[in-house]
Structures are given as structure tokens and as C-alpha cells.
Structure 1
Amino acid sequence: MASAICIITARGGSKRIPHKNIREFCGKPIIAYSIEAALASELFDEVMVSTDDEAIAAVAREYGASVPFMRSVAASDDHAATSEAVREVLDDYERIGKRFDAVCCLYPTAPFVRAPELREAFDLMREGATSVIPVTSYDYPPLRGFKIHVDGSLSYAFPEYAAMRSQDLPAMAHDCGRFYLATTDAFQSAGSFMTEKTQALWIPARFVQDIDTPEDWEVAEQKYRAMIGRDAS
């Protein structure tokens, strides 16, 4: 890619885990891991943080990211999609005469991301993908899941798969919630990172953890310590 930007989206309004994006995770603010991975990859002309929070902006700059613009109120709303924040950043750069061929949206709570993973995603783009999304396996086949009705009763969500053996079900994966990568043209055309030629980047489940609750945070720290223990051995 001729030019690329990494946008780390870190609004300040976390409610379930206050100050989530700059809370200490295994010794440093969790956003630092995302910044350091992006910088270490040496893939990006710009590694920036999109935030509406001055405390987050200060931490971001401390760890080497730029914060050339503060995020608007509209793009910081609880209901604002990630793609809206990304579009706003791209528009802000366009106004100062900067345009990028590729855009990566990296989450601020992604301590498992490593520079080689980002490079692998870029390799997939060079091979013809217009976007790349890291995915992993479900703990249990979702096609065998239940719907819970208002009265507490259950029914199969997908009755057509109820009698099938697990190994015969169509393979499915879910978004890891760590980063998305696309050509800027494909992102702008699709309005999201799910583009015409989206390629999966497979991530082992042991390196994936949603961090939405304090309990999730504890599990993520345990997984992270186990991961760096393996790296050191």
C-alpha cells in the first residue's frame, strides 16, 4: 500500500468499565498496546487516536500516537457506529490535504494484537482482498442455539440444523473485535469494512477476549499473562 493510516477509536464514554480505554492492563494503559503494535508494524504513515476525551488524548500522545483532531459529539454518541468515527477522521484529513490508500481501524482495548498480525493482514490485501477482518471460532456452534421467548420458553433459533451433527454444520466464525483493515476506496464505497472482497484473518480463540465487563477484564489479563509466558519460553 502506498500510504496507510491506523485509526484507534477511543471515545471516553465507557459506562460498564469507567475510563476503560486508559485503565491499567498488566502494567500500562490498555490503549498503549494498540498504539505500540501499530507503530512496531511500520505499516502506517499515521497512527492516530480518535477520541472526545482529553485524558485519553494525553495518554495516546505519551505512547507515540497523534491526536490531530478531537472527535465530534455526533461520532461519540453511544449509538454511533465505528464506521462513522472512521469516516469522520478520513474527512478531517481530507480537509487538510491528506488522503490514504488504506485505513485500519484498531480498537483501543486490543492488547493481544501484535505487529506481525497487522503485517499478515496487509499481505492479504496485497494478494487481492479489499478488506480484512480477524475472526475466530465460536465456543459452541451458533446454528444449534436457542431463542428465549418472553415467557421463558425455548425454541431452536435455526430448526433446520437441530438434528445435524456438529461436525456437519456449516463452518462459522465471529469477529474478534481487534481491528479492521480496508482499502480506503472500498471502505468508502461499502460504508463499512465488510467490502466486496473481505478476507478472514484467522486468530486462535485463546488469543481472543471481549472486554465489556470487569469479569471480562480479569479473564483478559489472565489470557495475556499466559500468552506472554508462552512467548518468553
Structure 2
Amino acid sequence: MSNIAIIPARGGSKRIPRKNIRPFLGKPILAYVIDAALQSGLFSEVMVSTDDEEIARIARTYGASVPFMRQAETANDFATTADVLREVLNQYAQKGSAYDYACCLYPTAPFITPTLLQRAFSILTDKQFDTVYPIQRFGFPIQRAVLLNDEKVQWFQPEHALTRSQDLEPAYHDAGQFYLFNTKTFEQTLRLITDHSGGIIVPEMEAHDIDTEEDWQVAEFKFKLRLMQDV
């Protein structure tokens, strides 16, 4: 069995400039993800897909490979993650390298751990899912969500207006960290999430999606707390 870790890290981040290599508590945020993939022992290849020479240099410094630079078509604002993954897998195939499983790891997900990757891979292979990815529980029941229209509030699901929170089924969302997937199925569907995908629950303090400066600060705060708990 041969597996590859693919970390898509283009240079054109808009909301947080140079986001993928910005220092996160002392080292480039990308380095945490590379380290987790390497330490997991799951992958024969840990590579970074980028269009940026500085990102490529930093990726190599921390142990990842950058065997080729990303094409312009997959480095623009409209390219999807699936487009990037397909390009990478095709490039390796042309060199005679094929993989049974792959993992797309987002470069700004420093909470990923080797243990989490190993647990997710066990679920993927044991259950024979197409994909497995981390999910988090919503902090408040989504059945009690409201709409706001011209300052008027309306229930999304009025039938649950009086339902006790503890009686409502928990709901989860994508934690935005990684997708472990069967490459054969992906190449057939070009979809990371299918009707046969699995999830692995991660606690609120072990993931944080980073899109804004405030997100960055919260993520660093969470990470510091985790480090203190590990001491």
C-alpha cells in the first residue's frame, strides 16, 4: 500500500497575506502540517503543491518535497481543491508513481496531529469509506437557528421553537483540516465528499478555521492552551 500527503499552498492568499508561511507561535504555520504528516508514518511521499518559490523553499526546509511547481490554471482564485489534487496525482502518474490513498492537508491547520491522521486512516480503511475527514460539533443546536431579514427574526425550523436543546440531534461541520481519500474513487468522481464519506470528531479546542486576523489570534490562544495541557 502506497500513500501520499498533498499540501496545497499557493502564494496568493488575499485575506491574510502570505498566510501559508506566516509565523505561528515561532515557525511558519505550514511547518506544523508537514511535521504531522511526516511523523504519522502513513505516507511514502509528503509534498507541497505551490506556485510560490518562497513557499517551496520553506516546505523543503521542513522536510516536504516540491517536485514541480503548480500550473497557473490551478493557482488562480477559481481553481478548486479537487483541481489541484487531480493535477498532482496526474503529475506523479506520468512519472510512474501511483498511490492507493492520498491525504489533502490544508497548510493553515496547525492542530493536525500524527495520532489524528492515524485514527482517520484506520477508519478509512476499516470501513472502506471513500473519504474520511475531521468534523466538529456545532456549539448550539442548528435546529434552533434564526433568519434575520430587515431586523426581523424568523425561525429556520419553527417546529423546534419550543424543543429543549438536549432533545435535539447533534449536528457537525467540516473542521477544515484534511481529507484522507481513496485515490481510485476520487479519480472517478473528482469529489472529496461523497455519499460514502466518514467523519472523525475533533473537540472545539483542537481545531480552528483561520480566515481573518481575529481567527489567527484565537487559533494561537487555543494552541498555547493545548501546549500547557501537554506539559
**TM-score surpassing 0.5?**
yes
Partner of 2:104: helix, strand, or coil? Answer: strand
Is residue 82 from structure 1 mapped to residue 81 from structure 2 by the alignment? yes
Q: What is the percentage of aligned positions where both structures have the same residue? A: 48
Partner of 1:127: helix, strand, or coil? Answer: helix
Distance 2:161 2:197 in 1: 30
Distance 1:208 1:64 in 2: 23
Number of corresponding residues: 230
Is residue 137 from structure 1 mapped to residue 101 from structure 2 by the alignment? no
Q: Deviations over 1:131-177 (max 9, x none)?
A: 1010011122222212233x343322233333322222222101111
2:21 paired residue number? 22
1:190 CA displacement: 2.9
1:22 CA displacement: 0.3
Structure 2, unaligned runs of 5 or more: none
1:122 CA displacement: 1.0
TM-score (norm 2): 0.95
CA contact (8 A) 1:187 1:193 kept: yes
Distance 1:191 1:116 in 2: 27
1:186 CA displacement: 1.9
Q: Note the aligned Cα RMSD (angstroms).
A: 1.3
2:112 paired residue number? 113
1:9 CA displacement: 0.9
1:137 aligned partner, one-letter code:
R
1:188 aligned partner, one-letter code:
E
Q: Deviations over 1:188-231 (max 9, x none)?
A: 23322213421111101111111111111111111101101111
Relative to structure 1, the CA distance from residue 160 to residue 189 in structure 2 (aligned partners, 3 Å threshold; closer, same or farther) is farther
Distance 2:205 2:25 in 1: 17
Distance 1:146 1:70 in 2: 45
Distance 1:187 1:125 in 2: 14
Provide runs of 4+ in structure 1 moved above 3 Å: none
CA contact (8 A) 2:138 2:170 kept: no
1:210 paired residue number? 209
Distance 1:100 1:77 in 2: 26
1:100 paired residue number? 99
1:34 CA displacement: 0.2
TM-score (norm 1): 0.94
Distance 2:214 2:78 in 1: 24
CA contact (8 A) 1:17 1:213 kept: yes
Structure 1, unaligned runs of 5 or more: none
Q: 5 Å matches for 1:174-213?
A: 174-213=173-212
Partner of 2:199: helix, strand, or coil? Answer: strand
